[in-house]
């Protein structure tokens, strides 16, 4: 239980204060905060609320979305990411998770170049705030509009090109479980000191919605215990973050859902 972390979006119907209170009462010690969960508080107030309940902030989700055909739009995205870094610092989050983006109407190669340029432009601000940028590769089904970074190997190459201690990787089982080189890529990412965050949920068969039909651990086909063992074998002791977008689970009783998360974590992950 000491590594279990829950993303605020997983229990989306709960406002932050309710989520924090209920997680703490259930013995959860870590939380990843989505930006939309902060208001009406300031990020500093949200951070205090979380720490007052004995929880630590694992990450702020999320920045990114760098690619755009127009230079002005790309500059705007970089500004927005600077604000994200400020929010993460005020919240007390050591990492900002990046969903890197992709722009329909231009090539993936162009989007990838713009992602590298966008992150490079953020590095001084990451250094100033002390918040690391965690690049999250997204499943290739999102390559058209959400992320042109789709594998751990690509994320590692991007980190190597940026060559900065302020950049690393968020590994999410939902996005990378299918990779036939996953075990090796996890080991390499850890050896390169890039493994910052570890997200889990399950892949339902059939998946009825590309965004909001993620499964609770054990409901799908991802070998979570195996992948978690590969993560642990590297010495990585990062929180294990439950991140589930599910219209079906959001409609259920959230107290029962929280109990199920904890049970599924013990049964299918550890």
Site for Zn ion in 57-86 (CB under 5 A): none
Q: Is 202 in the site for Zn ion (CB under 5 A)?
A: no
Q: 199 or 268, CB closer to Zn ion? A: 199
User: For Zn ion, which residue of 87, 172, 202, 219 counts as binding (CB under 5 A)?
Assistant: 172
Q: Residue 199: helix, strand or coil by DSSP?
A: strand
Q: Considering beta carbons, is residue 41 or 250 the nearer one to Zn ion?
A: 250
Instruction: Please tell me the chain's helix, strand, coil percentages from 3-state DSSP, rounded to the nearest 5.
Output: 45, 20, 35
Shortest gap between Cβ of 204 and Zn ion (angstroms)? Answer: 16
Window of 65-73, 150-158, 165-173, 224-232 that interacts with Zn ion by CB under 5 A:
165-173
Single out the segment in contact with Zn ion by CB under 5 A; choices: 16-24, 81-89, 199-207, 224-232: 199-207
Question: x/- site string to Zn ion, residues 219 to 248, per CB under 5 A?
Answer: ------------------------x-----
Which is closer to Zn ion, CB of 66 or CB of 74?
A: 66
With CB under 5 A as the contact rule, the residue among 199, 204, 214, 268 that binds Zn ion is 199
Kindly give the interhelix angle for 152-162 and 182-191, rounded to the nearest 10 degrees: 20
Q: Which is nearer to Zn ion, 68 or 169 (CB)?
A: 169
Q: How far apart are CA 208 and CA 8, in angstroms?
A: 23
Q: How far is CA 201 from CA 7, 8, 83, 228, 253, in A?
A: 11, 14, 28, 12, 19
Interface with Zn ion by CB under 5 A: which range of 24-32, 105-113, 191-199, 214-222? 191-199
Look at residues 194, 149, 148, 147 and name the one whose alpha carbon lies nearest to residue 167: 194
Size of the site for Zn ion (CB under 5 A): 3
CA–CA–CA angle 136, 142, 148 (5° rounding):
60
Binding segment toward Zn ion, per CB under 5 A, in 52-60, 109-117, 169-177, 261-269: 169-177
Identify which of residues 7 and 74 has a Cβ nearer to Zn ion in the complex: 7
Stretch that binds Zn ion, among 65-73, 122-130, 159-167, 192-200 (CB under 5 A): 192-200
CB of 134 to Zn ion, least distance (A): 9
How far apart CA 224 and CA 268 sit, in angstroms, is 7
> Which tokens go with 166?
């302020």
Q: CB of residue 227 vs Zn ion: minimum separation in angstroms?
A: 13
Report the residue number, 9 or 50, with the smaller CB distance to Zn ion: 9
Distance of alpha carbon 94 from alpha carbon 3, whole angstroms = 16
Q: How many CA atoms lie within 13 A of 126 on its CB side?
A: 23
* Phi and psi at residue 91, to the nearest 5°: -70, -25
CA angle 263, 265, 270 (to 5 degrees): 125
Between 95 and 199, name the residue whose CB sits nearer to Zn ion: 199
Euclidean distance between CA atoms 137 and 195, whole angstroms: 12
Which residues would be at the binding site for Zn ion (CB under 5 A)? Answer: 172, 199, 243
């Amino acid at each position: 239980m000491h590594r279990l972390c829950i993303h605020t979006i997983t229990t989306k119907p709960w406002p932050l204060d309710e989520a924090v209170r209920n997680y703490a009462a259930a013995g959860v010690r870590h939380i990843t905060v989505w930006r939309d969960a902060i208001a009406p508080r300031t990020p500093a107030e949200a951070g205090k609320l979380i720490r007052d309940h004995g929880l630590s902030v694992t990450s702020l989700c999320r920045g990114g979305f760098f690619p755009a055909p127009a230079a002005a739009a790309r500059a705007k995205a970089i500004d927005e990411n600077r604000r994200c870094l400020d929010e993460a610092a005020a919240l007390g989050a050591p990492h900002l998770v990046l969903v890197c983006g992709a722009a329909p109407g231009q090539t993936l190669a162009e989007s990838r170049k713009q992602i590298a340029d966008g992150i490079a432009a953020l590095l001084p601000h990451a250094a100033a705030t002390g918040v690391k940028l965690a690049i999250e590769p997204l499943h290739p089904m999102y390559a058209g509009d959400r992320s042109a970074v789709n594998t751990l190997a690509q994320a590692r190459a991007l980190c190597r090109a940026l060559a900065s201690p302020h950049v690393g990787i968020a590994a999410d089982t939902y996005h990378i479980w299918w990779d036939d080189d996953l075990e090796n890529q996890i080991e390499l990412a850890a050896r390169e000191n890039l493994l910052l965050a570890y997200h889990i949920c399950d892949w339902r068969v059939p998946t009825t919605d590309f965004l909001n039909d993620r499964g609770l651990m054990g409901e799908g086909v991802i070998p979570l215990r195996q992948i978690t063992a590969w993560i642990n074998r590297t010495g990585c002791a990062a929180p294990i973050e439950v991140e589930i977008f599910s219209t079906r689970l959001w409609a259920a009783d959230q107290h029962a859902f929280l109990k199920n998360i904890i049970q599924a974590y013990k049964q299918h992950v550890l």
